[in-house]
Chains A and B, each alone.
Chain A
Amino acid sequence: MEDIKDANIILRLGSKGMEFFTAVYEAAVLFVETLFQLPNIYFYRRQIAEQFYSLTVTTLPVTSIIAIFIGLGSTVQGTYQTSALTPRYFTANVIFKSTILELTPIVLSLVLAGKIGGSLAAEVGSMKISEQIDALESLSLDPVGFLVMPRVLAGTIMLPVMTIFANVLAIFSSFFMSTAVLHWISPGEYVSGMKMGFKVFELYFGNLIKPAIFGFLIAFFGSFFGLRAKGGAKGVGIASTTAVVVSAVLIVILDYFTGELLL
């Protein structure tokens, strides 16, 4: 009896392992197919423009709220943790760098993974189960070119844009909180804190490189799990949740590795 139980566990593990490797293989295939669709940017220009518009418009309010409160929260924490012996411009420097390099990119990406990734997976998934993907193919339109490539392109380009916008808002709100509300530092000191040890590459890293990677992950896995959706509404729900969880976990892991490799 015990042997049968063990065999069942091994079989189940084996089948889960196969599922995992199949998914990795399919994701790799979709990635290559998406790359091959890039020369068709002009052909799918309308779909790309729609994705850029929709990503910006739908995420702007939530991005603004997150950015303002990241700035306020990091300022309150920074001033609270600073002792009387710490130079104030040094604290301003820590707030500035931690905000643009870490807080804004990762918090914004995680929130957008839920918002954009989830909705992309649900949108593509419901198209899959209602035969709209087949309908695209029957019209001689490649679903990867029509649906995936525009979303991935928009995600990869728009997340850096949104991060730059969010970082500007966050730094302004921190500056305002520090100099006009808490009065713990003068504007001049705050600015010199920002300039201390300033490296241009850090701006690229926090505003462009990391958000571009995270934006790609969110859009790619949203589309990927949407295309794998099966069954009915439950299948779409599973696709949506999986897309959010996978992209959020990968964002956190890659956040560490990009920092380790590039900084």
Chain B
Amino acid sequence: MIEIRNLKKNFEGKPVLKGINLDIPEGKTTVILGPSGQGKTVLLKNIIGLYKPDYGKIVVDGVDITKLKKSQLFEVRKKFAFVFQGGALFDFLTVKENLALYLRMHLKMRENEIEKKVKEVLRVVGMTGTEDLYPEELSGGMKKRVAIARAVISAPKYILYDEPTTGLDRTNARAVNNLINKLKREYGVTSIVVTHDIECMKTVADQVALLKEGRIIFVGNEEEVEEKHLDYLYELEAEHAV
């Protein structure tokens, strides 16, 4: 379980997060929905400790990660995986090497075990046969799926997705959404998805948090959002269409 309490973060004196309060339930997918530039990615990077908040607490399984030293934070991060907006695959490594990195560095797996595990995870994300390709040889949708495979391979408890469907066509976006659901179903992962894509929210969300101007203005399920904040969804859809 992740509890976020009164989280504040400024950049060069400009407040981006103005006191976020949110609980992330285990085994569910929480979607943080909001337009661009509202601090969604900043919130996600605070949760995994890539940014240090100016104020507030982030409690992961009972541990306040804002108070941890670097080495302790690295240990907590092993519970997490992060799917970056652009994939952030290491461009000097092949798909296989990208996936093998965590296994090799932290789990000290043997090469034959690594090979087996990489093949298995690539099959799950529908990318069999791409082991020897470099990230530059992959399309946007393929990069996202490999990035998800890299996230899954470490068997994390939490997966954080930063705009998983941005820049993808409908077919690829649907495939990525289905993959998020599949991982929750098959591996029981707790997911946090930040997005401005309403379709993505409708497909994957168990819990929705609406982010506006650095604050969570509503938390509920999809039906409640549609019932109480339809205008917000219309605004978002209009901005997304532009």
Contact = CB atoms under 8 A, between A and B. Distances in A.
Given A43-B105, A134-B50, A140 B78 contact: yes
A26 interface: no
B88 A140 contact: no
A137 B78 contact: no
Contact of A142 (B48, B74, B88, B154): B74
Contacts of B75: 140
Interface string B56-87: 00000000000000100011011011101110
Interface residues of B, number: 25
A131 interface: yes
B90 A132 contact: yes
Nearest to B84: A131
B85 to A, nearest CB: 8
A37 to B, nearest CB: 12
Interface residues of A, number: 17
Contacts of A81: none
A134 B84 CA distance: 9
Contacts of A139: 77, 101-102, 105, 154
B134 to A, nearest CB: 13
Nearest to A138: B82
Given A139-B101, A139-B154, A132 B91 contact: yes
Nearest to B102: A139
A52 to B, nearest CB: 16
B116 interface: no
B170 interface: no
B45 interface: yes
A117 B74 CA distance: 29
Contacts of B92: 123
Contacts of A142: 70, 74
Given A134-B45, A134-B50, A135-B90, A140 B106 contact: yes
A141 B105 CA distance: 8
Given A46-B104, A139-B105, 20 more contacts: A123-B92, A130-B86, A131-B84, A131-B85, A132-B90, A132-B91, A134-B45, A134-B50, A134-B84, A135-B84, A135-B88, A135-B90, A136-B90, A138-B81, A139-B101, A139-B102, A140-B74, A140-B75, A141-B101, A142-B70
